[in-house]
Structure 1
Amino acid sequence: MKKIKILLFTVFLLSFHFSFSQGSPDYNGGFKIKFNDDGSKYLRVISWGQFQAAYNDNVPETASNLSFNVRRARVLLLSQISKKFLLLTHFGLNGLNSATLHPVGKGDGNQIFMHGIWGQWNLNDNHTVGGGLHYWNGISRLNNQSTLNLLTLDNNRQSWATIGLSDQFARHLGFFVKGKLNKFKYQLAINDAISNGLDMRTPENGGSAVYGGKRILGSKDAGFAYAGYFEYNFLDQESNTLPYKVGTYLGTKKVFNLGAGFFTHPKGSVVATSSGSMEGDNVSILAVDAFYDAPLSDDGSAITAYATYQTNDYGKDYMYSAYGTGNMFYSHVGYLISGDVKKARFQPYLSYGSNSYDALDDSRNVFGLGTNMFLSGHNSKFTLEYKNQKFGENTTGTVTLQAMIYL
């Protein structure tokens, strides 16, 4: 009887985490298939879609400023028949637009792929080990961000600091351990880095680093990457049953956390000497961050604030797409206007990010201004955002309207 009560309590907490963080009066834990009378054996199904219309003021003369896309279409399955272990399966697609459509649905943009598949085994009530294609990342809160309950339109791009370089779409193949000691939470992972990452360049003699250590040097010298994130929950305790960090609780929780994390990939990058010999260059990313989310009054108003400072060392003068050796500061703040949770509610927000690079004199500065309109918490919301990015002489302004439904 005692074991059954503990198991029911665990299932209740898991369901409560999903419903509590979404701020919807209609959600109540979502869709769950129960395989026994007490609900201790179940399959939890989560589905969501994000649909966008974007206006970009920096496009070629022959291109339209207006475009439509499916930002995300995902399904997540969570199954448990014992409190001792859990299986998570996550699949879907990203960034479906007119350029990635295919006449018969076979193009790369149409392909549904595995975002995650991992198992977790509980050592006891507070500590867990697991393995597979997982999302127990290091570095920062935003590198573990859920896309179900973001404050801003999307995650800060540079915070997913290894996406496509050492992993598959921010998920690594490896093993992890996670747990908590009172108010302190931790997660650590050892991962087998991807061999065919985005950076397929060949190092130039005497030039900058290329993120291709495993591909060029081999798995013996450059095969593994290591990650960790640690946080202290000063006020309400956040769930760490799953790795997905909540963006904004909509006043349903009072949270203040300080965190720090790392990612390291020994010889993950490669530099070519002036004579042409290849040498490994270690990749090391460190970050500290702070997250605050709390109701401000009994009428429903609330504040959400986040800030992080991150140092990125991808190797000598590394620069590729959004990644570069240098430093990053990012912050956002949002204010939930008071109102009836059963009616439309608004949450204006601001965001700012600044990225400096060793290889360049110019910094990348990104400013965002937007608002969320919640029809049923995060389960049905609209987001309108203006984002301005200045990088050297190039300035881009984008206005995006996103509609999201989450079941």
Structure 2
Amino acid sequence: MSTRKAALFLTGFLICIGQAIIAQGFPNYEGGFKFELSEDGSKYIRIISWVQGQAVYNTEDTFDVNGNQNSNLSFNLRRARILLYSQLNRNFLIVTHFGLNNLNSNTISPTGKGEGSQLFFHGAWVEYNLNKNHALGGGLHYFNGISRLNSQSTLNMMTLDNHRQAWATLGLSDQFGRHVGIFAKGRFNKLQYRVSINEASVSSLDERDPVAGGEAVYRGRSLLGSKKAGKTFAGYFDYQIFDEESNLLPYKVGTYLGEKRVFNIGAGFFLHPGGAVIDNGSTLQPELAGEDVFIYAVDAFYDAPLSDKGNALTAYALYQVADYGKNYLFGPYGTGNFFCSHAGYVFKGDMTKRRYQPYISYEWQSYDAVDDNRNSIGIGINAYRSGHHSKFTLEYKSDVFGDTKSNYLILQAMIYL
């Protein structure tokens, strides 16, 4: 970039910072921080930044490792992210996404050098267009399979956060829901697709060792090696009955607030051959064997205005079947079945001013390893001041799993530019 173009870029950046925030899809938004570097718009840089802060009230009493009672009220920096993407021309795209998550009193560090304070890549990939409908790419990417929620955008969720079990491989075979690998994406008329072949991570949140005659653990690559358990395969396909959604980036929209008329039916999968490990031997003579991890799902998404009055309905449902190996159970993950659904109603109003969207969500999950089912219900309301660009969310969430019960009241404030 020449000195003159660099100066223009910085000037434009500073001017944009000083401008008022206008919501996504509004005429004055004009693509946000998008800097066109050619007259036809084929060469550009786009910058997206967002921050989500939370106040969390836990109705249950909890205690720290020293036996001291924790405060029921706590504060949390849920997300702080920056995403950049740019084109040299219409044939090439590069995407870089970095930030941090869940910075709180337990993860913050005195000098900002602790593990919880560190920025890391949530994505870094390149993409090559084969034609206007199909593309290939590779890197650390988010073109996941299974379901719409497994590639959920964190900018425009309708509920306070995603249904956790829908991010079905997060931290087990990937880096925070992203794999290193290659992908293909595109559309055949109304049918969109994304498929990928990826490297499985050697490290995993599941650090357990397999026990003779016991349940599976998710440590295939570290215990069996890359030849037996080194690759994962994923795909998601959705038929777009009404308006077509953009697939330039992998992030699936949670609610359009009535700006589109969308009805999609989807299905997807994730396969990790040898991803789980069991011990068929004895304590003295272990005999490790791999088990395939296979997860598949069907889902439906509806988002549309109701007549011309400015009200809009958003609804989503997902049914997911997960096989992580024999009697697998680790945190929210487990071999079994998962159903979740949510619905919200946004009331009419001036889109440049405040609008309200009450919603309700429900989750149910069964596990092969135990008799108890997990049930969660959430009731909340979004207050939009400039669409998703300035949003407050208040949600009450209740979760019951066996004898464990949790109840939270969370207030979240988000701004994204």
TM class by smaller structure: over 0.9
1:400 paired with 2:410, answer yes
Q: Which 5+ residue runs of structure 1 have no aligned equivalent? A: 1-18
Greater mean alpha carbon deviation, residues 52-61 or residues 194-203:
52-61
Q: 2:390 aligns with which of 347, 359, 380?
A: 380
Q: Describe the superposition over 1:263-318 as per-residue Cα deviations: whole angstroms up to 9, x where unpaired.
A: 00000000001432000011000000000000003221000000010001000000
1:24/1:376 contact within 8 Å kept: no
Greater mean alpha carbon deviation, residues 172-181 or residues 31-40:
31-40
Residue 18 of structure 2 is matched in structure 1 by none
2:145/2:235 contact within 8 Å kept: yes
Cα deviation for residue 126 of structure 1 reads: 0.6
Residue 63 of structure 1 is matched in structure 2 by 70
Cα deviation for residue 29 of structure 1 reads: 1.3
1:190/1:225 contact within 8 Å kept: yes
Q: Which 5+ residue runs of structure 2 have no aligned equivalent? A: 1-20, 64-68
Q: Describe the superposition over 1:107-133 as per-residue Cα deviations: whole angstroms up to 9, x where unpaired.
A: 111000000000010011111000000
Which letter does structure 1 place at the counterpart of 2:247?
N
Q: Distance in 2 between matches of 1:27 and 1:403?
A: 21
Q: 1:132 aligns with which of 136, 139, 162?
A: 139
Corresponding residue pairs, total: 389
1:389 paired with 2:396, answer no
Residue 308 of structure 1 is matched in structure 2 by 318
Residue 17 of structure 2 is matched in structure 1 by none
Instruction: Report the 3-state secondary structure (helix = DSSP H, G, I; strand = E; otherwise coil) of the residue aligned with 1:82.
Output: coil
Which letter does structure 2 place at the counterpart of 1:404?
M
1:273 paired with 2:275, answer no
Q: Distance in 1 between matches of 2:25 and 2:333?
A: 34
1:283 paired with 2:290, answer no
Residue 72 of structure 1 is matched in structure 2 by 79
Instruction: Report the 3-state secondary structure (helix = DSSP H, G, I; strand = E; otherwise coil) of the residue aligned with 2:88.
Output: strand
2:299/2:318 contact within 8 Å kept: yes
Q: Distance in 1 between matches of 2:416 and 2:204?
A: 31
Q: Distance in 2 between matches of 1:59 and 1:151?
A: 29
Which letter does structure 2 place at the counterpart of 1:202?
D
1:36 paired with 2:43, answer no
Cα deviation for residue 339 of structure 1 reads: 1.3
Greater mean alpha carbon deviation, residues 218-227 or residues 29-38:
29-38
Q: Distance in 1 between matches of 2:27 and 2:106?
A: 38
1:241 paired with 2:248, answer yes
Instruction: Report the 3-state secondary structure (helix = DSSP H, G, I; strand = E; otherwise coil) of the residue aligned with 1:207.
Output: coil
CA RMSD of aligned residues (A): 1.3
Residue 299 of structure 1 is matched in structure 2 by 309
Matching of residues 4-403 of structure 1 within 5 Å = 22-24=24-26, 26-60=28-62, 62-275=69-282, 276-403=286-413
Q: Distance in 2 between matches of 1:362 and 1:25?
A: 51
User: 1:124/1:20 Cα in 2 relative to 1: closer, same or farther (>3 Å)?
Assistant: farther
Q: Describe the superposition over 1:318-369 as per-residue Cα deviations: whole angstroms up to 9, x where unpaired.
A: 0111100000000000000111112210000000000100001111111000
1:75/1:90 contact within 8 Å kept: yes
2:23/2:389 contact within 8 Å kept: no
Residue 3 of structure 1 is matched in structure 2 by none
Which letter does structure 2 place at the counterpart of 1:272?
D
User: 1:103/1:304 Cα in 2 relative to 1: closer, same or farther (>3 Å)?
Assistant: same
TM-score by length of 2: 0.92
Instruction: Report the 3-state secondary structure (helix = DSSP H, G, I; strand = E; otherwise coil) of the residue aligned with 2:221.
Output: helix
Which letter does structure 2 place at the counterpart of 1:86?
L
Residue 15 of structure 2 is matched in structure 1 by none
Cα deviation for residue 25 of structure 1 reads: 6.0
Residue 3 of structure 2 is matched in structure 1 by none
Q: Distance in 2 between matches of 1:220 and 1:233?
A: 38
2:22/2:352 contact within 8 Å kept: no
Instruction: Report the 3-state secondary structure (helix = DSSP H, G, I; strand = E; otherwise coil) of the residue aligned with 1:220.
Output: helix
Q: Distance in 2 between matches of 1:101 and 1:20?
A: 32
Cα deviation for residue 24 of structure 1 reads: 4.7
Which letter does structure 2 place at the counterpart of 1:281?
E
Cα deviation for residue 169 of structure 1 reads: 0.2
Q: Distance in 1 between matches of 2:384 and 2:219?
A: 43
User: 1:176/1:28 Cα in 2 relative to 1: closer, same or farther (>3 Å)?
Assistant: same
1:23/1:378 contact within 8 Å kept: no
Instruction: Report the 3-state secondary structure (helix = DSSP H, G, I; strand = E; otherwise coil) of the residue aligned with 2:213.
Output: coil
Query: What is the aligned-residue identity percentage?
Result: 60
Cα deviation for residue 77 of structure 1 reads: 0.3
Cα deviation for residue 36 of structure 1 reads: 2.3
Instruction: Report the 3-state secondary structure (helix = DSSP H, G, I; strand = E; otherwise coil) of the residue aligned with 2:99.
Output: strand
Q: Distance in 2 between matches of 1:340 and 1:318?
A: 49
Greater mean alpha carbon deviation, residues 269-278 or residues 139-148:
269-278
Q: Distance in 1 between matches of 2:161 and 2:398?
A: 14
Which letter does structure 1 place at the counterpart of 2:251?
Y
